[in-house]
């Protein structure tokens, strides 16, 4: 792990120039913290620095911390080890005001989006050219919401053999409520490996990167609508297996989700048994699919 804390934008520019010819081999996870008084305190700076060093110590990555609100983590190879480091980083630094993922990007695909992100960092940290006009807050928000990650059918098809060969099934949980996250994880952790996403952008990136066997997808997300996310995923992956989660269980919503390919709908608040039933339905479907493929093969 190589951590840059001072003059980070200058060092980032040098680093990006250095990897220009092989940028397709590098990946990026970017983090933005929710702005608050604590974020600008010496306590936050010391706690954040200590947590970065302890959680990423054994990892092979380059970290650029644009104080106070942005951290960029560049790495090569598999994403899951770095994502686990980030999860530990958040656990080590839990206090009011600490942020969540801002976006997750692959440099090889979203190089132009990275440029836009760096421009946003410069504006947020006050590093604007004197001749430039200051950007209004509304314009910044609009720009952030415009960042998109589009699923690639080609990349999903390339990942399908990996999904079929897993010895332990992988579930993607798309949910921003910590209590619901914990409930779902506790209910299924003995049978599945679980990765959690809090935003629609993060969910799309995780889905394409890991191609989970099953998804629990909340309808209300901080940066989008789960139904739109459902449509994007089922449109790119014909084998997607998605259960919707929502406190709004109107018949129209349920029918819309079914028409877009959802396999089931769980209304909030829900019990552990409803999650177990969803898992049982998924497993029965996979056993049936395996048996049918076997008969065709013979």
14-28, 126-140, 267-281: least confidently modelled range: 126-140
Q: Is the pLDDT of residue 94 over 80?
A: no
15-24, 117-126, 228-237: least confidently modelled range: 117-126
What tokens were used for 52? Answer: 């970065």
Cα–Cα dist 150/286, whole Å: 27
How many Cβ atoms sit within 10 Å of the Cβ of residue 166?
12
The proportion of the chain whose per-residue pLDDT surpasses 70, expressed as a percent, equals 83
Edge-to-edge order in the sheet of strand 100-105: 2-4, 61-66, 70-76, 26-32, 100-105
Angle separating helix axes 111-124 and 8-18, nearest 10 degrees: 170
Cα–Cα dist 89/99, whole Å: 11
Q: Which pLDDT belongs to residue 138?
A: 33
User: Is domain 153-297 classified as CATH 3.10.105.10?
Assistant: no
Architecture of the domain spanning 2-145: 2-Layer Sandwich (3.30)
pTM reported for the whole predicted model: 0.61
pLDDT in tens, 53-87: 999 999 999 999 998 888 999 999 888 888 889 88
What tokens were used for 7? Answer: 């003059």
Q: Which pLDDT belongs to residue 126?
A: 66
Q: Which pLDDT belongs to residue 98?
A: 56
User: Which pLDDT band, with edges at 50, 70 and 90, does 128 fall under?
Assistant: very low
Quick check: do 2-145 and 153-297 share a fold?
A: no
pLDDT in tens, 175-184: 988 888 888 8
108 near 117, Cβ under 8 Å? no
Tell me the three-class secondary structure of 123-163, residue by residue.
HHCCCCCCCCCCCCHHHHHHHHHCCCCCCCHHHHHHHHHHH
Q: Which pLDDT belongs to residue 140?
A: 28
Q: Is the pLDDT of residue 42 over 80?
A: yes
81 near 13, Cβ under 8 Å? no
Domain ranges of the chain: 2-145, 153-297
């Amino acid at each position: 792990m190589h951590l840059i804390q001072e003059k980070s934008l200058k060092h980032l520019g040098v680093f990006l120039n250095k990897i220009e010819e092989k940028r397709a081999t590098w990946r990026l996870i970017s983090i933005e913290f929710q702005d608050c008084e604590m974020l600008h305190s010496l306590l936050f700076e010391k706690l954040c620095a200590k947590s970065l060093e302890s959680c990423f110590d054994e990892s092979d990555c380059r970290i650029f911390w644009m104080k106070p609100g942005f951290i960029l983590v560049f790495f090569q190879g598999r994403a899951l080890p770095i994502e686990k480091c980030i999860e530990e980083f958040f656990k080590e630094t839990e206090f009011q005001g600490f942020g969540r993922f801002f976006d997750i990007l692959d440099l090889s695909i979203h190089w132009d989006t990275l440029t836009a992100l760096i421009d946003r960092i410069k504006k947020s940290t006050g590093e604007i050219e004197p001749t430039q006009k200051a950007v209004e807050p509304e314009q910044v928000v609009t720009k952030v919401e415009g960042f998109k990650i589009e699923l690639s059918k080609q990349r999903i098809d390339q990942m399908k053999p990996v999904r079929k060969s897993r010895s332990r099934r992988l579930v993607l949980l798309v949910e921003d409520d910590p209590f619901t996250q914990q409930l779902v994880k506790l209910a299924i952790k003995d049978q599945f490996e679980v990765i959690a996403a809090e935003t629609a952008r993060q969910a799309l990136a995780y889905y394409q990167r890991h191609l989970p066997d099953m998804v629990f997808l909340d309808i209300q997300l901080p940066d989008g609508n789960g139904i739109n996310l459902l449509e994007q995923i089922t449109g790119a992956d014909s084998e997607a297996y998605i259960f919707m989660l929502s406190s709004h269980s109107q018949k129209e919503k349920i029918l819309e989700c079914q028409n877009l390919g959802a396999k089931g709908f769980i209304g909030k608040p829900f019990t552990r048994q409803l999650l177990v039933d969803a898992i049982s339905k998924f497993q029965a479907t996979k056993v049936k699919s395996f048996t049918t493929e076997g008969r065709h093969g013979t």
